[in-house]
Chains A and B, each alone.
Chain A
Amino acid sequence: AQKITQTQPGMFVQEKEAVTLDCTYDTSDPSYGLFWYKQPSSGEMIFLIYQGSYDQQNATEGRYSLNFQKARKSANLVISASQLGDSAMYFCAMRGYNFNKFYFGSGTKLNVKP
C-alpha cells in the first residue's frame, strides 16, 4: 500500500532563515514520483517541486530543494531564505508506477515570522 507521512502538523521559521519540512513515504512500486505542493489560505494547490525515484540528483527549483534519501524513503522539502509569503500549508505527494493516482500526506502548516 502507498502511504505518505508528514509528522509535523505545524512549523515556525524566522524570516530569511531556512526550514525543512519532513516527508516519508511507503511504496513497493519499482518507480514513483514525489511532489511537493503549497496551499495558501486561498485554497489553490501550487506545484513546487518534483523528484523521480530514479533521478540521481536532488531536485531544486529556486529557493526550494528536495532532500531525497531513497534508502530511508524520505523526501524532505527545504525552503531557503524564508519569506512571509511562504506561510501556507505544504503537502507532500507521491504518484506510483501505475501513475493514475496521487497520494497526499496530511500536510504541514508553515508560519514565517517577521
Chain B
Amino acid sequence: GAGVSQTPSNKVTEKGKYVELRCDPISGHTALYWYRQSLGQGPEFLIYFQGTGAADDSGLPNDRFFAVRPEGSVSTLKIQRTERGDSAVYLCASSFGLRDDEQFFGPGTRLTVL
C-alpha cells in the first residue's frame, strides 16, 4: 500500500519568503507528526496531531511556524519569513495513534533557505 508522502521533495527559497510543506499520511492513520532534522542530527519533534487538532505543538521553535490538518488527513507545515537557520529536512510521520505502534516516516522535504 501507499506510504507517507511528502511534497515537494526539495524546496529552495529566499530568506524572508513563505513556504508550505505538505504531508499525506497513510490512510486510516489518525496520528501525524512533524519533525525537523538538521545535518548530522536526529529528528527533532515539532508538532503532533491526533485527528484534526494539534495535540502537542510544543516543539515549534517560534510563531513563524504553524501547521494545520483541517480534515484529519493531509497536513501542511507553514513557515513564514523564512530564515537561513530553517534549512533542514522536514520529516512527517503517521501512525494509528496507539501507544505501542510504530510511526511510518515519509521521505522528507529538504528545505534550503538562501
Nearest CB on B from A1, distance (A): 12
Sorting the interface of chain A by its residue count into under 10, 10 to 19, 20 to 34 or 35 or more gives: 20 to 34
**Do B43 and A45 touch (CB < 8 A)?**
yes
Report B101-113 CB contacts with A as 1/0, cut-off 8 Å. Answer: 0111111100000
Nearest CB on A from B1, distance (A): 15
Q: Pick the residue among B48, B89, B104, B105 that contacts A101 (CB under 8 A).
A: B48
Number of A-B contacts defined by CB within 8 Å: 55
Of all chain A residues, which has the CB nearest B102? A47
Report A34-56 CB contacts with B as 1/0, cut-off 8 Å. Answer: 01010000111111001010000
**Do B45 and A102 touch (CB < 8 A)?**
yes
Please indicate the chain B residues that have their CB under 8 angstroms from the CB of A4 in the complex.
Answer: 42
Alpha-carbon distance between A5 and B40 when the two chains are bound, in angstroms: 14
**Do B33 and A44 touch (CB < 8 A)?**
no
Report A8-44 CB contacts with B as 1/0, cut-off 8 Å. Answer: 0000000000000000000000000101010000111
Nearest CB on A from B31, distance (A): 8
**Do A101 and B33 touch (CB < 8 A)?**
yes
**Do B42 and A104 touch (CB < 8 A)?**
yes
**Do B42 and A107 touch (CB < 8 A)?**
yes
Please indicate the chain B residues that have their CB under 8 angstroms from the CB of A106 in the complex.
Answer: 40-42
Alpha-carbon distance between A106 and B44 when the two chains are bound, in angstroms: 10
A64 at the binding interface (Cβ < 8 Å): no
Alpha-carbon distance between A102 and B105 when the two chains are bound, in angstroms: 13
**Do A45 and B93 touch (CB < 8 A)?**
yes
A91 at the binding interface (Cβ < 8 Å): yes
Known: A43-B89, A100-B55, A102-B33. Contact between A52 and B100, CB under 8 A? yes
**Do B108 and A102 touch (CB < 8 A)?**
no
**Do A47 and B100 touch (CB < 8 A)?**
no
**Do B93 and A33 touch (CB < 8 A)?**
no
Of all chain A residues, which has the CB nearest B3? A44
Known: A101-B45, A104-B43, A107-B42. Contact between A33 and B107, CB under 8 A? no
Q: B-side interface residues toward A, CB under 8 Å?
A: 33, 35, 40-45, 48, 50, 55-56, 58-59, 89, 91, 93, 99-100, 102-108
Nearest first, the 5 A-B pairs at minimum CB distance are A104-B42, A45-B105, A100-B56, A101-B45, A47-B102
